[in-house]
Structure 1
Amino acid sequence: MTYIEKLQALRELMTAQGIDAYIITAADPHISEYLPAHYKAIPFACGFTGSAGTLVITHDFAGLWTDSRYFTQAETQLKGTGYELVKLKVPHTPEYISWLNEVLPKGAKVGFNFQLITVALAMELKNSLQQNGISVTDLDLISSIWIDRVGLPAEKAFLIDEAAAGLNISAKIVQVRAALKQNGAEYHFISSLDDIAWLFNLRGKDVDYNPVALSFALITPNEAKLFIDEQKLSGNDMEQLNQQGVSLLPYLEISNALTLLPNDAAVFIDPKRTCFGLYQLLPKTNEIIFGINPSTHLKSEKNETEISHIRKAMLHDGVALTKFFKWLEDYLGKEKISEWSAAEKLAALRAEQASFVGLSFNTIAGYNANGALPHYTVTPESDQEIIGDGLFLVDSGGLYRYGTTDITRVMPVGNYSQQQADDYTLVLKGLIEGSKLIFPAGTKGYQIDSICRKPLWDYTINFGHGTGHGIGFFLNVHEGPQTISPANIDIAFKPGMVNSIEPGIYRPGSHGVRLENLVLCIPHSSTEFGDFLTFETLTLCFIDTTIVNKSLLETYQVSWLNQYNQMVFDQLQPLLSVEEAEWLEEKCKAV
């Protein structure tokens, strides 16, 4: 079926069901960022492959609501599909709710799959529409037309031991129960896969780029239940889980388990990481306590064992990146190198490193205009040869048994313009300001965000994405609860949190610049004015200085840059060949 035919089929089903509007979300029952192929309904329906978007279909309009990261991509991918791009004014907000209230008459009915929407969003949607006399209903129309839909993944999962995680499963369960008690809850339902992975020291391959396994968890006063297909686990792993006080049940048994909770149970759930369909199965007499999953807070503060392992991962990653940029410099202009082949080469070099598991996300390799697309994904159709003059942006990361990495660098190719040099330098200033920041305990991400943006704001420049996100320990490359962004999120930075700092400048049709390092939040000092924190940079890859406009840098910023590049050389040099070390030494020379 073509996209037009699929849209027509959905509208026919809407008519048959008496539905005036149908919503398709980018989600699975675990509210994952990266979806198993079974749940990639938006690419199936319209061809859009971005990670953030919502389809809304009425009988005379079909639109994709997405944010500025994907405007160019969406306009290209939606051509000829019957869908139109609707540009979000505020990222990550359901602006289509207001649109539905405007275009639908009183008495209209809106359908969506309750299994594929968060509790928080479903309640907002339901309450807003009902105020205008519009009802909602649980409806899965996609399954009726997705004839060749793949099944749920059945990849093998495995446990990581205490020596790697720094804490055993039973100790983590004790921590979660203590947090539940503080919140007045006895029971806790968890559906977010990375929270479950952390709690049970479980890793898997069910989702691209995220080392997680499809599962649910239910913590009760006396039991810790893990709902997972037992065929995913080895006999030894199942025995270890049992020894740690974990009961194993079939994955699909979660629905029945929720309905059987005691009628007077106080149940803690995360409304932004739990689907509405499963939430509705809880007994109506239960006291529901909403909040961020305790495990989300706990896993964000890395323990000393995790931190020591993350440092090893950074060394492995730094070696691969050094080899990659040397290869790129050596062979550009001598053989055909494109965005695609460069990304493949980097992946191959990472795969040579000890403890490598896979990529932590799909590599963004954008030359010139493609680099101006913050979430660009190279395809055979968009693949561009890296030749001539300009800037090549590479945003990439690896999953290692020792940790997760995420880094962005920009390499000048041939000649570059003054504007490109200035943009590069301003972005570098933003990275430096965030990296060297000293701040009082209790500081939130939105406060740090403004400090990173100020060097760009001084030139009336801004960027449309957050400045940084949390990073998991051998887990998801995007992790909460903390973030560095303009959003007024009431989460303070704490020691042990690992975060990215990645300011950028994007000039559509011309070029993009983004520089990204990972940093560890650490104590700085205690004074009469309170406790202060700072960041330690973890990422080990040189920052190219050939394109820097030194006149835009303050003396202390030049000093930071030189010290950082010297640190990179000192730590990586013992792991490189003589030729590679000599090349890196030249790249790390002080400016």
Structure 2
Amino acid sequence: MTYQEKLAAIRAKMLTNGVGAYIIPSSDPHMSEYVPDRYKCIQFASGFTGSAGTLVITAGFAGLWADFRYFEQATQQLRESGYELVKLKVQHTPEYIAWLDEQLPAGSIVAFDYQLMSMVLGEEIKEALSVKEIAVQDLDLLAEIWENRPELPDDLAVLLPEKDCGRDFKSKLSDLRLGLQKAKADVHVISSLDDLAWLFNIRGKDVSYNPVVLCYALITAAEVRLYLHDGKLSSGDLNLLAERGVTVKHYQKITTDIQELKNCTILLDGKRTCYQFLTQLSPSVRIIKETNPVVFLKSVKNETEIQNTRAAMVSDGVALTRFFKWLEENIGKTEITELSASQKVKEFRERGKTFAGISFASIAGYGLHAALPHYCPDETNNLELLPKGLFLLDSGGHYFYGTTDITRTVPLGETTEEEKLDYTMVLSAMIFGSAAKFPKGTRGYQIDGIVRQQLWQQGINYGHGTGHGVGYYLNVHEGPQNIGPSNAAVAIDQGMITSIEPGIYRPGKHGVRIENLVLTIPGATTYFGEFLQFETMTLAYIDTSIVVTKWLLPEQINWLNAYNQLVYEQLKPELSEDEALWLAGKCRAIANQSTI
């Protein structure tokens, strides 16, 4: 079926069911960012492959609501699909709800698959449309249209050695139960896969890029139930779970167990739990809607996690050094494309003994493609790299044990003055953030302002967040902290690992982004209180060949020189003599010629 034929089939089923509008979100029943193939519903229906967006279909209109990261991608992929791109004004907001309220007559029905909508969003849709007596209905209209729909993955999962996790399951469970006591909850249901992976020290291959396992957990003061598909764990790991007091049940039993809960108080995380669970609870169950306590516990890394992540950064830095050396030595001599460059950096990572997979689809953009923040090359969009202009590579890996995420923009030859200035301003912004010192309790939006301030002075801004949390051999995008414009009520606390990744994007020309991961560590304690600061964990040289030094403060140049020297010292023991000599040239200090 073509996408237009699929759209027609959906509309036919809408008509049969009396549905005025049908919503298709980009998530799975666990509210994941990356989802198993079975839940790539937007891609199936429209051809759009981005990781975030929402399809809304009515009798007369079909649109994809997506944010600026995907404007160019969506415009290309939606051609002749029957869908139009609706550009979100504010990232991560359900602006289509107000549109539905305006478009639909009173008494209409809006349908969506309750499994694929979060509690908080399902409630928002229901409440916002109820004024016009527009009802919501649980329907999966793709079930009969999607022929040969992929099954859920059946790869084996494993329990990690607890010595490599820094904390055992028992101690983590104890802290979780303390959180439930504070919330005055009897029962807690966890759906979010990275939280479950951290709590049970379990990892798997069920979702691309995220080493997680499809599962649920139901936890009380006396019992722990883990819901898994049969055959996911070895008999040895099942025995270990039994010894730890965990009852393993079939994955699909979570639904009946939730329905059987009576006369209790349950804690549900509205952003990380599907709307279906909320609708299945008995009226006798009291509901507390709070963030899953594991989210906060997981965000603060213990000493084992920190030390192992540092080791992962060395492995990652070695791979990137070898890649950029290869790129410099081969550009203009042999054909290199965005796609082949992505594959090559993966090959260099795979040579590492502890490599466990890439942490997300590499963003490899050359020239004008670098102006697309979430651009991923494929067979139909794949520029050849030439010995001129800028190449942006945003990539990362999983290691035993640790997760990396790094962006470097490098010149491939002659560059314009505008490219040099943009590169220098992005570097300046990244250094401002990396070198920041701030009072304990500071939130991400405050640090976001520190990073953006010098860009704002030049009338420049970027539409994505400045930073996100990163997991420990887990999801590359991890909450609850973030560095961005929104006032998230979470402080950037000691032990958190977060990215700092400002950018400048000029459509049709070029893009620049530079990203490091930083660890929040103690700073000074003064008369004015306790301060925190960042330790940069990422180890990969920052190109200085096109830096316009007069646009950097003396202390910023000192930071840059010290960082590159650290990179050289940390990576040199793992490199060949030739590789180390090449890296030494890249890390050579630049003169401090600032006039500001």
Task: Describe how 1:145-184 pairs up with structure 2 within 5 A.
Answer: 145-184=145-184
Cross-structure match for 1:236: 236
Identity over aligned pairs, percent: 53
Q: Distance in 2 between matches of 1:437 and 1:387?
A: 37
Task: Write the distance in 1 (CA, Å) between the matches of 2:20 and 2:281.
Answer: 29
Work out the CA distance in 1 between the residues paired with 2:107 and 2:69.
36
Amino acid corresponding to residue 323 of structure 1 in structure 2: R
In structure 2, what is the Cα distance between the partners aligned to 1:227 and 1:408? 37
Structure 2 match to 1:375:
374
Aligned to 2:593: none
C-alpha distance in 1 between matches for 2:154 and 2:8: 33
**Counterpart in the other structure of 1:341:** 340
Any idea what the Cα deviations from partners look like across 1:379-403, whole Å, max 9, x if unmatched? Answer: 1111110014210000000011110
Verify the 8 A CA contact 2:315 2:352 in the aligned structure 1: yes
Counterpart mapping for 1:291-302 below 5 A: 291-302=290-301
Identify the residue that residue 125 of structure 1 maps to in structure 2: 125
Question: 3-state DSSP class of the match of 1:469?
Answer: strand
How big is the shift at 1:230? Answer: 3.5
* Paired residues of 1:230 and 1:248 also in contact (CA < 8 A): no
Which residue pairs with 1:140 in the alignment? 140
1:136 is displaced (CA, Å) by 1.0
How far 1:461 moved relative to its partner? 0.2
Determine the C-alpha separation between the residues in 2 that align with 1:455 and 1:159. Answer: 46
1:528 pairs with 2:499: no
1:562 aligned residue: 561
For 1:331 and 1:381, the matched residues in 2 are separated by: 23
Residue 474 of structure 1 corresponds to: 473
- 1:251 maps to 251
Q: Find the counterpart in structure 2 of residue 94 from structure 1.
A: 94
Counterpart CA distance in 1 for 2:22 and 2:304 is 48
CA contact (8 A) 2:541 2:567 kept: yes
Name the SS of the counterpart of 1:562 in structure 2. Answer: helix
Q: Are 1:50 and 2:50 counterparts?
A: yes
Secondary structure of residue in 2 paired with 1:170:
helix
Q: In the TM superposition, what whole-angstrom CA distance separates every residue of 1:491-533 from its partner, at most 9, and x where no partner exists?
A: 0111110000000000001100000000000111212211100
- Separation of aligned partners in 2, 1:148 and 1:79: 25
Query: Contact between 1:74 and 1:85, CA under 8 Å: does it hold in 2?
Result: yes
In the alignment, the residues of structure 1 paired with residue 66 and residue 510 of structure 2 have an alpha-carbon distance, to the nearest angstrom, of 22
- Corresponding residue of 1:400: 399
1:438 aligns with: 437
Q: Secondary structure at the match of 1:232?
A: coil
Q: Distance in 2 between matches of 1:93 and 1:315?
A: 38
The one-letter code of the counterpart of 1:247 is T
Is the CA contact (8 Å cut-off) linking 2:331 and 2:387 kept in structure 1? no
**Following TM superposition, by how much is the alpha carbon of 1:109 offset from its aligned partner in structure 2, in angstroms?**
1.0
Q: How far apart, in 1, do the equivalents of 2:69 and 2:214 lie?
A: 29
Query: In the TM superposition, what whole-angstrom CA distance separates every residue of 1:109-157 from its partner, at most 9, and x where no partner exists?
Result: 1111111000000000000011122111111101110012110111110
What SS does the corresponding residue of 2:370 show, helix, strand or coil? helix
- 1:571 maps to a residue whose letter is Q
SS for the counterpart of 1:315 is: helix
Structure 1 residue 279: deviation in Å? 2.1
Amino acid at match of 1:24: I
Three-state SS of the structure 2 residue aligned to 1:206 is coil
Whether the 8 Å CA contact 1:429–1:557 is kept in 2: the answer is yes
Paired residue for 1:507? 506
Could you tell me how far apart the structure 1 residues matched to 2:68 and 2:45 are? 21
What SS does the aligned partner of 1:394 have? strand
CA RMSD of aligned residues (A): 0.7
Q: State the 1:211 CA deviation.
A: 0.2
Distance across 2 between alignment mates of 1:233 and 1:309: 25
- C-alpha distance in 1 between matches for 2:11 and 2:304: 54
**What amino acid does structure 2 have at the position aligned with 1:226?**
L
Paired residue for 1:582?
Answer: 581
Which residue identity lines up with residue 338 of structure 1 in the other structure? T
* SS of match in other structure, 1:93: coil
Residue matched to 1:30 = 30
**Cα deviation per residue 1:395-422 (whole Å; 9 max; x = unaligned)?**
0000111100000001101100000000
Amino acid at match of 1:390: G
Question: For structure 1, which segment, 148-157 or 460-469, has the greater mean C-alpha deviation from structure 2 after superposition?
Answer: 148-157
The answer to whether the Cα contact below 8 Å between 1:565 and 1:588 also exists between their aligned partners in 2 is yes
Whether the 8 Å contact between 1:97 and 1:125 is mirrored in structure 2 is: yes
CA-to-aligned-CA distance 1:30-60 (integer Å, 9 cap, x gap): 0000010000000000000111100000001
Q: In 1, Cα distance between the equivalents of 2:180 and 2:385?
A: 54
Show CA shifts across 1:142-180 (max 9, x none).
111001211011111001111110111111111100011
Distance in 1, Cα, partners of 2:41 & 2:569 = 48
- Paired position in structure 1 for 2:186: 186
Which one-letter code corresponds to 2:502 in the other structure?
Answer: P
Partner of 2:266 in structure 1? 267
TM-score when normalising by structure 2: 0.98
Report the secondary structure of 1:344's partner residue: helix
Residue 200 of structure 1 is matched in structure 2 by: 200
TM-score between both structures, scaled by the size of structure 1 = 0.99
Match of 1:83 in 2: 83
SS of the aligned residue for 1:195 comes to: helix
Runs of 4+ in 1 over 4 A off after TM superposition: none
CA contact 1:498–1:520 (8 Å) conserved in 2: yes
Does residue 1:220 correspond to 2:220, yes or no?
Answer: yes
CA distance in 2, matches of 1:447, 1:245: 43
**Equivalent-residue separation in structure 1 for 2:100 and 2:385 (angstroms):** 45
Tell me how far apart the structure 2 counterparts of residues 135 and 44 of structure 1 sit (CA, whole Å): 26
Gaps of 5+ in 2: 591-596
Q: Which residue of 2 aligns with 1:330?
A: 329
What code does the residue aligned with 1:311 have? R
- 1:264 is displaced (CA, Å) by 2.0
Question: Following TM superposition, by how much is the alpha carbon of 1:278 offset from its aligned partner in structure 2, in angstroms?
Answer: 1.7
CA displacement 1:236-279 (0-9 Å, x = unmatched)? 11111111111111101001111122x22111110000000122
Q: Secondary structure at the match of 2:410?
A: strand
Q: Deviations 1:53-109 (Å, cap 9, x if unpaired)?
A: 000000010000000010111111000000000000111000000000101111111
Partner of 1:553: 552
Alpha-carbon distance in structure 1 between the residues aligned to 2:21 and 2:458:
44
Say yes or no: does 1:426 pair with 2:425: yes
Distance in 2 between residues matched to 1:266 and 1:102, nearest whole Å: 37
Between the aligned partners of 1:99 and 1:132, the Cα distance in structure 2 is 13
Corresponding pairs, count: 590
Q: Which 5+ residue runs of structure 1 have no aligned equivalent? A: none
Instruction: Tell me how far apart the structure 1 counterparts of residues 230 and 149 of structure 2 sit (CA, whole Å).
Output: 23
Q: Where does residue 493 of structure 1 map in the other structure?
A: 492
Matches within 5 A, 1:68-79: 68-79=68-79
Q: Secondary structure at the match of 1:145?
A: coil
Which residue does the alignment assign to 1:7? 7
The separation in 1 between residues aligned to 2:364 and 2:161, in whole angstroms, is 35
Partner Cα separation in structure 2 for residue 184 and residue 494 of structure 1: 25
| AA of the residue aligned to 1:284 | P
Mapped to 2, the partners of 1:351 and 1:357 lie a distance apart of: 8
2:113 pairs with 1:113:
yes
The answer as to whether partners of 1:364 and 1:376 remain within 8 angstroms in 2 is yes
Structure 2 residue aligned with 1:353: 352
